[in-house]
Amino acid sequence: MHLQGQPDIGTLVRAALAEDIGTGDVTSLATVPASARAHARLVAKAQGIIAGTAAAETVFRAVDPAVVTTLHVADGAHVGSGDLVLEVAGLARSLLAAERTALNFLGRLSGVATLTAQYVAAVAGTRARIIDTRKTTPGWRALEKSAVRAGGGTNHRQGLYDMALVKENHIRAAGGITAALRACRSYLDAHNMRGIRIEVETTSLAEVDEALAVGCSRIMLDNMSLDQMRTAVARIRERMPAPEIEASGDMTLDRVRAVAETGVDFISVGALTHSAPALDLSLLFSSSLRIT
């Protein structure tokens, strides 16, 4: 997996292993015979949605290409406590050196997928789709956005390069919503970037009206009350074709259903990637070590 401006899985895995192993796993070097072989089972210890399996397998192979991995569930699968996710077999020292890094990738990304699935379930039956934000772990964006998809969510822009999102500071710098939107359109036209979509953040009904007057691809309703959102949605839907509508700000699980019922198309949730708790997983040897 590789996206513009982002490292691939192999690069991230190598950096993570270097951080953890350093000059060597002194505990395993001291206690585990070099020729000892083992079989281990990686299991879930809580209910959740799995994501990050490719990263986990990459970790084991990066430590030792001879390690054999057997995947029992795919990204997006629901697991319960005790369910088998992955089996690995090979030199015991290799499995132990890879264990924590593999669990870190898998636990973190499965946590993102699990929280995303909870938000998706909360808005089921509405037109709203749950989308992520750029509030991601540095270097992990491609992985975390993949985990959002595994949980049933939808990705927003990948970065600053693939969508123009005019926010409060851009509006201030440009001298207002009208000036900012016109400047974006002029820049994109001049640089032959007409395929780039333009979204604008609004915080009041007056700003919604101004955005509608100028025109854009999507209007964000930021930190509005439910009544304000309902009114804004009605006004935007009067336009043909109507811009897409995104709601943002304070999107808790308790509140997201009510927001979805205002009729918005998207609900952006930064918590999917900045606050998701890791899914609890463990890896244990399933039998005695075999000395060869």
pLDDT tens-place string over residues 251-265: 999 999 999 999 999
100 given a catalytic annotation = yes
Q: What is the mean pLDDT of residues 175-184?
A: 98
- Give CA–CA dist 288/292, Å, rounded: 13
Instruction: Inform me whether the pLDDT recorded for 287 exceeds 80.
Output: no
- Give CA–CA dist 52/149, Å, rounded: 11
- Give CA–CA dist 111/150, Å, rounded: 11
Query: What is the tens place of the pLDDT at every residue in 58-74?
Result: 999 999 999 999 999 99
**Nearest 10 degrees: CA dihedral of 53, 55, 56, 57?**
90
135 given a catalytic annotation = yes
- Kindly list the domain boundaries of the chain, sorted by start residue: 9-119+277-291, 122-274
230 given a catalytic annotation = no
- Predicted local distance difference test score (pLDDT) of residue 2: 47
Bridging pattern class, strands 290-291 and 281-285: unpaired
- Predicted local distance difference test score (pLDDT) of residue 262: 98
The catalytic residue among 37, 135, 149, 230 is 135
Instruction: Please state the pTM of the whole predicted model.
Output: 0.95
222 given a catalytic annotation = yes
Mention every residue, 6+ apart, whose C-beta is less than 8 A from residue 128: 247, 259, 260, 264, 265, 266, 267
Cα torsion angle, 240, 243, 244, 245, sign: negative
The reply to whether CATH 3.40.640.10 applies to domain 9-119+277-291 is no
Query: What does CATH list as the number for 122-274?
Result: 3.20.20.70
